[in-house]
Structure 1
Amino acid sequence: MILIVDDTPENLISLKKVFEKHDFEVDTASSGEEALKKVLKNSYVLIILDVQMPGMDGFEVAEAISGYSKAKETAIIFLSAANTEFKFIAKGYSSGGLDYITKPVDMNILLLKVKTFYRIYEQNRKLNEMQKSLLEEIEFRKEAERKKDEFISIASHELKTPLTSVKGYVQLLERSVSKGDSETVKKHLNKAQSQLEKLNSLIADLLDISKIESGKLKFNKQNFPIDILLDNVIEVMTQSNPEFKIHKKGLANCEIYGDEMRIEQVIVNFLTNAIKYSPGTSEILLTINVSNDELYVAVKDYGIGMSPEQLDHVFDKFYRVEETSQRFQGLGIGLYISAEIIKRHGGQIGVNSIYGEGSEFYFTMPINLKTEFNA
């Protein structure tokens, strides 16, 4: 938009008509003071500013405008009938003017200059947008590279840990076998098996994320009883974590259409995280209900909880909740995979949490959706 500032009404009207005839959006002000008020409220691409005005003259208006952060880049063209000497023209440029035109004004020349300025302005705007977009893209490459390096480092560590443990237990087994100590052999075998299961879980997560990235994560959907699945999961989780009591609240009393193994994977992930991030506690609440043909499953713990900043990123790929006092194992992809699984079932996933008081992860999904999201 162009702002024309002139204390002579005839000048305002004639200039306004010319520019509007050539499809420019125009605003007017009859004094320097009025112009400053309008500059504070509106954004202008160009200001055509009369030099000789009562009150604030054009130079004073230009200097005031240059002090406004919002308008300091706005271009100014001075118009003057009386002040045509070089010193005034020089003052116009030093006050921030793009050009200084003397009256009587040749409208064709003024119009040509304004059109040329607008063309340059549009080119600069597009260049600035391209530069901003390029900088954002570069920062996104840098961030992606940093996350990739961090993930490789984490994955290497997490994979080495169970492997090192298995190696240690195998060495202990060799000694126990040679001594004929069957009880100790059994104990070491169980511990080695546990570490191998951790390793298998980590590798499965890595394979899943690779399939998600390539669009090859497959689903085998069919009807299955969700209540039985939950009871089985609770039994297995309780056996492997006897120090935790998992309370189940509610019943579905129906079959769910979906990939039973993948839904179980999500629930196991919720429960595993609830146990992992709840040191010093012993209870977890699993809630299930069906309403309006929609399944709701939630796992609530009473552990460390999360800050609002952490909540914003908890389903991001490679994101891990870290505490300064302790380090939790994991690749930071379990919840990302879970979110993808629920999305592919036409559902939604979410979390509620209060720092220091615990978290509740939940998902909802249609119980019998067999069309759009069937894969």
Structure 2
Amino acid sequence: MILIVDDKSENLIALKKILETHNFSVDTALSGEEALRKILKYAYKLIILDVQMPGMDGFEVAEAIVGYSKTKDIPIIFLSAVKINKQFISKGYASGGRDYLVKPIDPDILVLKIRTFIKLYEQTDELNRIQAALLEEIEYRKEAESKKDEFISIASHELNTPLTSVKGYLQLAEKSFEKDNKPHTRMYLDRTKTQLNKLNQLVADLLNTSKIISGSLEYHFKEFDFEPFVDSAIDIIQQSYPGKHIIKTGLADVKIQGDPLRLEQVVLNYLTNAIKYSPDSNDIFVEVAVLPANKVTLRVRDKGIGIPKEKQDQLFDKFYRVEESSNRFQGLGMGLYICAEIIRRHGGTFGVESEPGHGATFYFTVPSHKEKLQ
């Protein structure tokens, strides 16, 4: 849209008619003050500005327009029937004008200039948008690069820790074996096995994350009973952590369509996290329930350290670890990200409820009856 600014209504009417004949969309203002109000409210591609006006003259209006970052690139064409000498023309350009035309004007020349300036404005506007998008992309690449470097550092540390322990325990087991000390040899081999299991889980998380990013993580959906599925997952964790007491409540005697192995990953992750982040408590609580609208939910609650409210939205992000606990507890920060992707793939929802010092509850909800997912 083009804005024409002139204190004489007859001039506005005549010029507006010429431009509308050439299919331009036109708006008008009878003063500089009115023009500035409209410029801040509406989007214009060009402004035709009379020089001699009461109140703010054309030069002052142009300087104000150029002074706003939002409007500084709008082309301005000055029109004048009185101030036509070199001094005023120079002032017009200095005020931010793109052209200075003397009345009476040739309508064909004016239209030609308008089309040219509008085209240049549109091209400039597009270049500005492209530049802004590129700058945003560069900042995103910088952020991604920073996160990648941070992750590599964390991964190197986390993978090196169990490897170092394995090496140490094997050396101790070798010495005990040479001394024919079978109890100590067995103890060191058991500790080696524990560290290898940790290493195996870290590598599995890396592989699963890579497959999720590339879209190649496989799913095998089938119908299965939810209640025995949950009991089996609890039993796996109970066998691995005999000192912990996993208390299950509720009943979800329904069938669901899903990949039992992938959903088992989620339950096992929730349970191991609950154990990991509640070192001073032996009780873990699992609640299952059938919800309205053919849904089933599972909630895992612990009495651990809890999570600050401002950190909770990021817990399911890739590579995220809560800073307050990252030095105290091992992990790559990928487990919950993998869980989130698995639950999304099953058409479900997930989340966390927690307060620092009062434990945390991680939950997910999936459909209990639906068509087989592809």
Q: Could you tell me the TM-score, scaled by structure 2's length?
A: 0.90
Q: Secondary structure at the match of 2:56?
A: coil
Aligned residue in 1 for 2:298:
297
Q: Which residue type is aligned with residue 145 of structure 1?
A: E
Does residue 254 of structure 2 align to residue 254 of structure 1? yes
Superposition deviation, residue 309 in structure 1: 4.8
Quick one: distance in 1 between partners of 2:106 and 2:189?
Answer: 97
Alignment of 1:28-67 (within 5 A): 28-67=28-67
Q: Deviations over 1:31-61 (max 9, x none)?
A: 1221122223223232211111122211222
Q: Which residue type is aligned with residue 122 of structure 1?
A: E
Superposition deviation, residue 184 in structure 1: 2.5
Superposition deviation, residue 101 in structure 1: 1.0
Q: Secondary structure at the match of 1:328?
A: coil
Unpaired stretches in structure 1, ≥5 consecutive residues:
none
Q: 1:336 to 1:324 in 2, by over 3 A?
A: closer
Q: Could you tell me the TM-score, scaled by structure 1's length?
A: 0.90
Q: Which residue type is aligned with residue 198 of structure 1?
A: K
Does residue 116 of structure 2 align to residue 111 of structure 1? no
Q: 1:55 to 1:214 in 2, by over 3 A?
A: closer
Q: Secondary structure at the match of 1:323?
A: helix
Q: Deviations over 1:339-375 (max 9, x none)?
A: 221222222233334455443322221124343x23x
Quick one: distance in 2 between partners of 1:143 and 1:184?
Answer: 49
Unpaired stretches in structure 2, ≥5 consecutive residues:
none
Alignment of 1:134-173 (within 5 A): 134-173=134-173
Moved more, 187-196 or 176-185: 176-185
Q: 1:211 to 1:41 in 2, by over 3 A?
A: closer
Alignment of 1:213-252 (within 5 A): 213-241=213-241, 244-252=244-252
Superposition deviation, residue 65 in structure 1: 2.9
Answer whether contact 1:346 1:369 (CA < 8 A) is retained.
no
Q: 1:273 to 1:59 in 2, by over 3 A?
A: same
Superposition deviation, residue 266 in structure 1: 0.5
Superposition deviation, residue 9 in structure 1: 0.9
Does residue 324 of structure 2 align to residue 323 of structure 1? yes
Superposition deviation, residue 294 in structure 1: 1.3
Q: Which residue type is aligned with residue 62 of structure 1?
A: A
Quick one: distance in 2 between partners of 1:23 and 1:161?
Answer: 73
Aligned residue in 1 for 2:125:
125
Q: 1:104 to 1:365 in 2, by over 3 A?
A: same
Answer whether contact 2:252 2:290 (CA < 8 A) is retained.
yes
Alignment of 1:264-283 (within 5 A): 264-283=264-283
Quick one: distance in 1 between partners of 2:179 and 2:334?
Answer: 43
Q: Secondary structure at the match of 2:48?
A: strand
Alignment of 1:355-370 (within 5 A): 355-370=356-371
Answer whether contact 2:59 2:92 (CA < 8 A) is retained.
yes
Q: 1:92 to 1:282 in 2, by over 3 A?
A: farther
Superposition deviation, residue 221 in structure 1: 2.6
Quick one: distance in 1 between partners of 2:73 and 2:305?
Answer: 50
Q: Secondary structure at the match of 2:323?
A: coil
Superposition deviation, residue 239 in structure 1: 4.5
Superposition deviation, residue 307 in structure 1: 4.2
Q: Secondary structure at the match of 1:78?
A: strand
Quick one: distance in 2 between partners of 1:322 and 1:27?
Answer: 56
Answer whether contact 2:209 2:338 (CA < 8 A) is retained.
yes
Aligned residue in 2 for 1:83:
83
Q: Secondary structure at the match of 1:72?
A: coil
Aligned residue in 2 for 1:176:
176
Quick one: distance in 2 between partners of 1:330 and 1:45?
Answer: 55
Aligned residue in 1 for 2:353:
352
How many pairs does the alignment contain? 373
Aligned-residue Cα RMSD (Å) equals 2.4
Q: Deviations over 1:265-301 (max 9, x none)?
A: 1011112222333354444332211222212122233
Superposition deviation, residue 325 in structure 1: 8.0
Q: Deviations over 1:210-258 (max 9, x none)?
A: 3323333222333333222322333343454456443323110123322
Q: 1:136 to 1:98 in 2, by over 3 A?
A: same
Superposition deviation, residue 316 in structure 1: 2.2
Answer whether contact 2:75 2:118 (CA < 8 A) is retained.
no
